[in-house]
Structure 1
Amino acid sequence: MWDTTAAEAGSPAQLADLLDRQGYLCDEGLATACFLALRMRRPLFLEGEAGVGKTELAKTLAKVLDAPLIRLQCYEGLDAAQALYDWDFPRQLLHLRAAEAAGVTDVARLEGELYDRRFLVARPLLRALETVPSVLLVDEIDRADDEFEAFLLEVLSDFTISVPELGTIRAERPPVVVVTSNRTREVHDALKRRCLYHWLEHPSYDREVAIIRRRLPGASERLAGQVARAAQRLRAEDLLKPPGVAETLDWTEALVALGARDLDPDTAAVTLGTVLKYREDQERVRARGLAALLDGGAPSGRT
């Protein structure tokens, strides 16, 4: 284990309890995947639709481990230099000018000083390797290019980074690694094989109500149930972007801020922008009628 707090978790159920204490409710499958990733010291690859709690798990795990969360947000065009390290050229230039003003003429000495560790700017991957303990979140790897994905696989294989001017930097103790993907594209099998894999589903009705009540204690059980029921039904619609748990929480928080006791069609209409972020989705739902969305009991198949 990486940390004495995590070592208290002798089973997936105990780890789930530790996560629960930090406000993250997870099912048995996710708790088991997380537990095994810690025990086996393997990266945890979380895949699923946006808003199901992938990033939040990494944040909560960092709290459980009492370790800093170091986040690498992936995007198209991300390269190794932006993820690893860079040289602080302005500071190097200032040092060079100061040396010249002081009359330093030893070129070899100046070159050595310019590439000293103090001028190295550590980016997320290098910071994670040098910080003990730490949780490294590689968020939305599916947004990065294939080349960066291959580079990340190399880093995760041995947790070492080569800096030509300084040599090889090896992690004293590898960070806990959580890799997330919204599956906007398929991630290569080589990276998945390096990790333990878990697909996150949207929560069941009962679990979503529990999440709302845990995160927003000001919301009544009735209001939490109404919002969770509506969110479950919205996910069954053919929408461009079905709401995730994050949107469910935003919707509930907005209703609480407005002092709403119930989720009725009028209140839903004026707060729809907190849960549906595309105009086409809002128009589709309004066309079908908000009353139909809110009418009836709990969704079938509640667990």
Structure 2
Amino acid sequence: MADFQANTRPFAELDRAGRTRRLRRLAEAALTAYDVPVARLTPLAHGQNTAFRIDGADGHRYVLRVQRPDGPGTAQVRAEMTWLAALNRDTGLVVPRPVPTRENDLVTVVADPAVPEPRTCVLCHWVDGRFVEERLSAPQLYAVGEFAARLHRHGARMNGLDRGRVDDLTGFGRTQVDGFSAAVVERAVALAGGDERIREAVARARAVRAGLGYGADVFGLVHGDLRQENYLVHRGRVGVIDFDDCGFGHYAYDLAVALDALGHLPQREALREALLEGYRSVLPATATTDPEVLGAFAELRRVQLRLR
């Protein structure tokens, strides 16, 4: 009886484990679209999306991501995979390498009766490495800075992909022509319980964006979530994963996210300077690494996370 009830309960009423079990079956169905011999499928940490490690009978490892229903749509996920494929083709950066389906598509859409809506799924080769976390060193952050600059240099050439702006204030803002419009800000202030500091943060970010402009030297396709949880180290090289939040924005936004995530570490000042030095070694753009610019985007990012 318990098993029957677990299988018939509405998806929204399930806990994380229950949802993962349902999505595992959907993931198994998604894998049939790929020419990959599957030996084992293991759930990974459940974030906004649900991911599974795939151990292939061919000796290779992969990650299958099942997209959340309220995240980027199929066309936008395909654009994300298009950028990753281009990065693998054009650069030596360590990023996930998409696996095409048998029909040579970079995504597959799968439905399962036990899941309320079809889900977009993608398969990528596993990225080796470890998350350093509190043991981060200045040389590692220098390498992260170099990586970010090379990523931005490539992102400047990727115009036309179907990705939104990373700096839109809220989900509602992403549906508007101007993600900082008066209507967007009013909703954000209300969502934050009337906190007027939201207006100040938006005004500061708006002024910084206007000052930077939108030339390819300061604006393009960026990662959008360059936190410690998304970069890892393997044999001295930095790799970056989870491009789910990638989109168009100022390069300083990526750096602000990375720098703000270091605030809890005792060595944060040395790490911050190392990251900026690494970035400037590739792209010596003083506007992108200006402290006031980075501070404005860091404040905006904190507001965005608060309003999610």
User: Do these two structures clear the TM 0.5 threshold for a shared fold by scoring above it?
Assistant: no
The structure where helix makes up a greater share of residues is 1
Q: Larger relative contact order (C-alpha < 8 A, sep ≥ 6)?
A: 1
Query: TM-score, with normalisation over the residues of structure 2?
Result: 0.28
